[in-house]
């Protein structure tokens, strides 16, 4: 299998890339690091990346940003950071990426627990995650050529626990083994239109 992982050098992406690399050809993409560069907030940059990479069997996106701040402090423009990057970046990856998939290929997006169980300062991030959950359900009804589309929604992951634990009082870290399994399930299973939730 040939697998494109956007964000493949990030905290979660690196672990997922390393796992798939054991048996498959993995191409990583990122803003600064990776085999190819891409800024998913820029749809022309997505085109360039896909053109360079060519046909693949799976596209995994573990990238995209949204601004974390108190609701009172978020401007209209701040909300658009998340809408352009984590939301429309992933939507555009589906719109464009499906044309680069081999038959029966799959696309896996990433969101997180905030969609269902937000914490303070995450009104923008939660919104983007919730949007993607409903988007995946809706597109799954229509997408053609046997393409499968899923989204992985994780709780706070173990490797980010030290950095983020103060934002998530009382949350339980998700072991990295489960993190990897969520993506393996999406890529190698038969799930389609599914929100793969691993909350501890």
Residue 39 and residue 63: Cα distance in Å, rounded? 9
Q: Cβ distance 156 to 94 under 8 Å?
A: no
Three-class SS state of 19: helix
76 binds a second copy (CB under 8 A): yes
Q: Mark residues 19-38: x for contact with a second copy by CB under 8 A, - for none.
A: --------------------
Tell me how far the alpha carbon of residue 129 is from its chain's centroid: 10
Site for a second copy in 56-75 (CB under 8 A): 70-72, 74
Q: Does 146 bind a second copy (CB under 8 A)?
A: no
User: What residues contact residue 8 under an 8 Å CB cut-off, 6+ apart?
Assistant: 14, 16, 17, 26, 27, 28, 29, 30, 34, 60, 62
| 154 near a second copy, rule: CB under 8 A | no
172 belongs to the binding site for a second copy (CB under 8 A)? no
Q: By C-beta, is 22 or 142 nearer to a second copy?
A: 142
The residues of the shown chain that bind a second copy, judged by CB under 8 A, are 43, 70-72, 74, 76, 79-80, 83, 87-88, 91-92, 95, 114-123, 125-135, 137-139, 141-144
């Amino acid at each position: 299998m040939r697998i494109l992982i956007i964000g493949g050098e990030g905290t979660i992406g690196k672990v997922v890339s390393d796992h798939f690399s054991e048996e498959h050809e993995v191409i990583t993409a990122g803003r600064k690091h990776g085999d190819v560069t891409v800024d998913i907030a820029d749809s022309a940059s997505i085109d360039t990346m896909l053109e360079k990479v060519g046909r693949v069997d799976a596209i995994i996106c573990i990238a995209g940003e949204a601004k974390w701040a108190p609701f009172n402090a978020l401007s209209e423009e701040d909300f658009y950071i998340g809408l352009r990057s984590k939301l429309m970046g992933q939507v555009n990856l589906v719109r464009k990426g499906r044309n680069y998939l081999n038959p029966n290929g799959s696309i896996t997006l990433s969101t997180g627990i905030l969609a269902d169980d937000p914490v303070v300062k995450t009104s923008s991030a939660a919104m983007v995650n919730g949007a993607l959950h409903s988007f995946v359900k809706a597109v799954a009804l229509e997408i053609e050529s046997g393409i499968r589309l899923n989204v992985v929604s994780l709780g706070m992951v173990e490797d980010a626990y030290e950095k983020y634990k103060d934002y998530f009082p009382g949350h339980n870290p998700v072991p990295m083994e489960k993190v990897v399994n969520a993506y393996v399930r999406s890529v190698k299973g038969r799930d389609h239109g599914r929100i793969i939730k691993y909350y501890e």
